[in-house]
Every structure is written in C-alpha cells, then in structure tokens.
C-alpha cells in the first residue's frame, strides 16, 4: 500500500519510561527515513600453512590431529579443520591478498530526522500539546532531555537509597548522565545513547518563539538492554523462518 493511501498511520515514539518523570514523545510526523548502520573492523590474520602441495599436506596433518580427539567432538573438529585449512591454502595459492579476521564488532547506529510544526494539531493530540501561539517550546524541551543530564531512573534511585551515604545520595540521584533513548517505529524498538542531536528552528511567532523545527538525531544502540535482547531474538527467528531454503541448490550452483 502506498504511503499516500494511509490516512492515519501508526505513530512512532522516542521514550524512556524508567526515568522520574518518564519521557515519552510521540512523533507529530513520523520520520520518512531511518538509516540503520553497523560497521565491523577486520585485521590481518596470520597464515597457518604454506601454499600449493606443501601447504595442503601440512593442512591435512593438522586436520588429522583434530580427529584424534575422538567421538563427535573430534569428528566435528576434524571436518571443520579440513574445510577451513583447505580453503585457506587454496586462497593463498591463488591470491596474494591478506587473510582477514574480525578485530572489532562495531556498534549499530541509527540516524533519522523529523519535522515539528506547532501550527497544526494532529488527530488524537491532547490540547496541552499545542497552543494558540503555535510554538513548539514544549516539544523541544522533551526532545532535548535525551541529550542533557537528567534525573536518575527508578533503579538508580533504589540503588542510591540502598548503598549511598548521605553526602553522596544527592549527587547519585539528581542530574545523572543523559538518559538512554528508545526509538519505537512499528515493530522495531531500539534503545541507545544519543551521539548527536541537531535542531534547526525556522518560522517564529510574534513572541519570537519557534513554531517549526527540523530535528536530526544519531543514536548508538545499547547492547545491555532489554530491547536489544528482544530484537536479537526476533531477528534470529525471522531469519530461520524466512530464509529462502528453496534456493539452496541455486546457491550451490546446481
């Protein structure tokens, strides 16, 4: 279905519901584009075997040693060694390029931008979200809260009350580090840290308060979060269910 045919699309959110008070910002207009990026860094891998026939013989001897472990473990290790060793020798025989190994798994980053316009009240918005002057001061205050030090979360407060002395209790609770942000878009929910936030205001009312803004955000995923675990399970489940197993022969060239 084309976007133009959607009369009332579901709204996305920016949120952190563990704070006191919680931060929940429903998009007035959903982002039209979300850039989901992940980079991994690979370094040189030292070769274990030579090239040509000498390399194959050396790789074979290494694989035989794995079979000597015995049982299923030895069989699995031996078969894996045969394939891995043979492809390494073949690759180095036919190419002088470097072997590679994973050095660092890079973070997942999301970039998106959206517009706020205080001159229009969308269907379902409460009265308090818009005023007669059309300013967006409240919107910007909520959004900026994700990039500035904030009150502690519920868990931080409980931890401070249980383990802090009186002289450190205040500093542990009030004006903590900036909170995490959870981007909710349809079935996707990603919690992360705001790396960059850019707000470009345009059009101002008679009080010189902004009535329109373009907000651009870049966030980095937080892997020790509930949303990361849930998203990983969903991804693995969809991969297993939706992979094109019917094309297995085509992948092998049959």
Per-domain residue ranges for the chain? 8-28+118-239, 43-104
| pLDDT surpasses 80 at 173 | no
Tens-digit pLDDT profile for residues 87-120: 777 767 777 788 788 899 999 999 999 999 999 8
184-221 burial, b at 16+ Cβ within 10 Å, e below that, comes to: bbeeebbbbbbeebebeeeeebeeebbbbbebebbbbb
Per-residue confidence (pLDDT) for residue 158, from 0 to 100: 55
Tens-digit pLDDT profile for residues 236-250: 999 999 998 888 888
Arithmetic mean of pLDDT, 77-93: 64
More confident residue, 241 or 165: 241
More confident residue, 128 or 205: 205
Per-residue confidence (pLDDT) for residue 99, from 0 to 100: 79
Contacts of 32 (CB under 8 A, 6+ apart): none
| pLDDT surpasses 50 at 75 | no
More confident residue, 209 or 21: 209
| Long-range pairs, 117-120, Cβ under 8 A, ≥24 | 117/28, 117/29, 117/211, 117/212, 118/210, 118/211, 118/212, 119/211, 119/212, 120/28
Arithmetic mean of pLDDT, 23-52: 87
More confident residue, 97 or 195: 195
Which backbone phi and psi does 136 adopt, to 5 degrees? -120, 30
| pLDDT surpasses 50 at 140 | yes
């Amino acid at each position: 279905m084309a976007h133009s045919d959607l009369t009332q699309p579901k709204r996305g959110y920016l949120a952190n519901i563990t704070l006191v008070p919680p931060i929940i910002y429903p998009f007035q207009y959903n982002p039209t584009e979300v850039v989901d990026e992940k980079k991994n860094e690979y370094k040189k891998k030292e070769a274990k075997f030579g090239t040509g026939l000498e390399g194959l013989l050396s790789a074979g001897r290494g694989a035989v040693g794995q079979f000597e472990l015995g049982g299923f473990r030895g069989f699995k290790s031996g078969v894996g060694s045969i394939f891995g060793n043979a492809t390494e020798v073949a690759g180095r025989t036919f190419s002088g390029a470097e072997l590679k190994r994973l050095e660092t798994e890079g973070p997942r980053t999301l970039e998106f931008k959206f517009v706020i316009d205080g001159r229009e009240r969308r269907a379902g918005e409460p009265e308090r979200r818009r005023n007669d002057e059309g300013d967006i001061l409240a919107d910007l205050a909520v959004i900026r809260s994700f990039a500035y030090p904030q009150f502690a979360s519920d868990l931080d407060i409980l931890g401070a009350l249980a383990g802090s002395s009186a002289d450190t209790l205040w500093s542990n609770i009030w004006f903590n580090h900036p909170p995490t942000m959870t981007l909710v878009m349809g079935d996707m929910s990603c919690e992360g840290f705001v790396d960059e936030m850019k707000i470009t205001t345009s059009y101002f009312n008679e009080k010189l308060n902004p009535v329109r803004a373009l907000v651009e955000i870049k966030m980095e995923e937080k892997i020790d979060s509930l949303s990361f675990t849930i998203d990983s399970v969903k991804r693995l489940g969809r991969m297993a269910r939706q992979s094109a197993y019917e094309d297995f022969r085509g992948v092998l060239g049959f």
